[in-house]
Amino acid sequence: MHGLGNDYVYVNCFSETVGNPRDLAVAVSNRHFGVGSDGLILICPSDIADAKMRMFNADGSEAQMCGNGIRCVAKYVYDHNLARIETEFSIPGLGTFATSLQIETQAGVLTIGLDIDDNDAVGRVCVNMGQPIMDATQIPVAAGIETVIDQALSIEEQTLSMTCVSMGNPHAVFFCENLDDIELAHTGPLIEHHDLFPERINVHFVKVVSPNEIIMQTWERGSGMTLACGTGACACAVAGVLTGRCQRQVTAHLPGGELELYWCEQDNCVYMTGPATEVFSGHWPEN
């Protein structure tokens, strides 16, 4: 399945067992000798929600959350009848979805609104991504200051202006005038592994088109360059507001497509809306 080209292999752990998900993530993610993906996501039973998501990057490391991944988990849970809850999901000031699910993650339980099409399948998905975290110690960023907003970061001979936000996982956002000037494959890993970030970090370069529109490129912690990052898009939207560059409702253009973001002033939560697509299913040999 994929959300805007951010693709993962999903395992239905309501009926399957995965003994070593870290090794399996590395194996299936290999685009030459495996299935090919940005990582592995397990869809598991939950005692406190409709399902539980565990997400592993392509290098086998486990992450707290994945915005594109959780949309796909919600689609799978509904489309494959693992859970169907006819409970309304409201976005303050924007609208209501007739159907919703709750998905447990390592970043907490998230509520998700589902747009059901004429074939009784999920099309677009809206996720309440929760409240952003700006406290540097909680992101974490070893910066010695309370918040990291438009702070200088030196990388080789460059000085970049950085804003850091956690959406259940850590993000560093860099606004720039021209994305073509950014050598993401080179600069991304340097920032990801910088000493400031004890748990590494997701890296985003952002061009502001207007107060309601941004273009972004992503280097994901543990996976490298990806076509989309849902939590990252949320972090970029928050960073845009914190630095006075954007309004609270913004469209993010990613290499894989568009996400609609809304940082609600009423409840301080970020709402992310975008597609989820199932591509194919298959069997992985046990050995």
Residue 229 annotated as catalytic: yes
State the average pLDDT for the chain: 94
* Active-site hit among 66, 72, 126, 269: 66
pLDDT in tens, 238-282: 999 999 999 999 999 999 999 999 999 999 999 999 999 999 999
Q: 0.85 cut: is pTM over it?
A: yes
The SS3 of residue 180 is: helix
Comparing C-alpha atoms, which of 155, 156, 174 is closest to residue 164? Answer: 174
Residue 264 annotated as catalytic: no
Give the Cα separation of 159 and 149 in Å (integer): 15
Amino acid identity of residue 152, one-letter, is A
* 87 vs 2, more confident: 2
User: What percent of the chain is modeled with pLDDT above 90?
Assistant: 87
Tell me what pLDDT residue 188 has: 96
Set out the domains of the chain in order of their start, with CATH numbers: 2-127 (3.10.310.10), 151-266 (3.10.310.10)
Are 226 and 191 in contact by the 8 Å Cβ rule? The answer is no
pLDDT in tens, 155-202: 988 899 999 999 999 999 999 999 999 999 999 999 999 999 999 999
Give the Cα separation of 57 and 220 in Å (integer): 9
CB neighbourhood size of 189 (10 A): 16
CB neighbourhood size of 242 (10 A): 20
Strands (E), 117-263: 122-128, 151-155, 158-166, 170-175, 202-210, 213-220, 224-226, 249-254, 257-263
Tell me what pLDDT residue 209 has: 98
Quick one: tokens of 11?
């395992």
pLDDT in tens, 51-102: 999 999 999 999 988 999 999 999 999 999 998 776 888 888 778 888 899 9
* Active-site hit among 164, 229, 236, 269: 229
Tell me what pLDDT residue 287 has: 67
pLDDT in tens, 109-143: 999 999 998 999 998 999 999 999 999 999 999 99
